[in-house]
Amino acid sequence: MAEFDEINRKITIKLVYYGPAMSGKTTNVMQLHDMLAPDLKGEIMTLETQNDRTLFFDLLPLGFRTQSGWLIKFKLYTVPGQVVHDATRKAVLSRADGVVFVADSQRSQGINNSESFQNLEDNARRVGLDFDVLPLVVQFNKRDLPHILSETEIQDRWSAAPWPLVFASALVGTGVKESFIKLLEAVYPALNKAFSLQETHQIGMSAFIRAVVGEPDGNPG
C-alpha cells in the first residue's frame, strides 16, 4: 500500500522487479534510469552479495509534483533471484503497489521461471498482498538471445493469464519503458481510488503516466 504523508503532502509508491536470477531485473531498472528525464530521478543505490549478485537494489527517488502541489514519489526495487535470498525477497516485496515479473525467454529457463513465479505468488500472500488483485506485468526478457521461446509459444502458454505480456531485450532497452508504462496503467486505478488522483489532484491516467516518464504534456488524461 502506498505511503500517504499528509503533513508533507507526499504519496510514496513502491514498485518491485521480481524474477529468477540473471533474468535481467537490474538491467531493466538501470536502462529505465537512463531513459527517464534527469529532473525526475534520484541516485541509483545498490547493495550486493559477496558474489556480486544483487541483494537489494534501489533506483529512486523518482517523482513529480501535481498541480495541487503534492509530491508523487516512486521507489523501484529489484529482488535477488537466488533461492537462498528468499527472506530478502519477502522484505522487498512487502507493501509493494505493483510488480514487473521479469522472465528469461531462453528455453532452458522454463523451470526457473515457473519456480520464481510461484515464489512470487507465495511470498505475496506471506506478506499480506492480495495476489489476485496485485498490479502485475509479465515481461519476457532476453529476446536478443538464441534458443528462446517464440512469442507465439509464450502467448499460448500464458493465454489464460490476466496480466499484460511484454517482450523485451533489456540489454538494448527494448520493451523496458513499455513494461514500466504497462505497470503504471495497472497501478493507477488503485491509487486513484485510494487518493482521488483525478478528483483531488486533477491528474488522470494518461497525464499520470506522462508525468512519471517525463513526456511532454498533451491533453489532460
Of residues 4 and 52, more confidence is placed in 4
Pairing of strands 45-48, 54-58: antiparallel
Query: What is d(CA 166, CA 176) in angstroms, rounded to the nearest whole number?
Result: 9
CB-CB contact of 101 with 117 (8 Å): yes
Say which amino acid occupies 74.
F
pLDDT band at 80 (very low <50, low <70, confident <90, very high): confident
In the chain, what percentage of residues exceed pLDDT 70? 90
Residue 159 has pLDDT above 90, yes or no: yes
CB-CB contact of 48 with 56 (8 Å): no
As a 3-state breakdown, the chain gives helix, strand, coil percent values, each rounded to 5, of 40, 25, 35
Q: What angle do CA 104, 182, 70 make, to 5 degrees?
A: 130
| pTM score of the predicted model | 0.91
Residue 194 has pLDDT above 60, yes or no: yes
Backbone angles phi and psi of 137, in degrees to 5: -125, 135
In tens, the pLDDT along 195-205 reads 999 998 889 99
Domains in the chain, start-ordered, CATH in brackets? 3-213 (3.40.50.300)
The DSSP H or E segment spanning 155 is helix 151-157
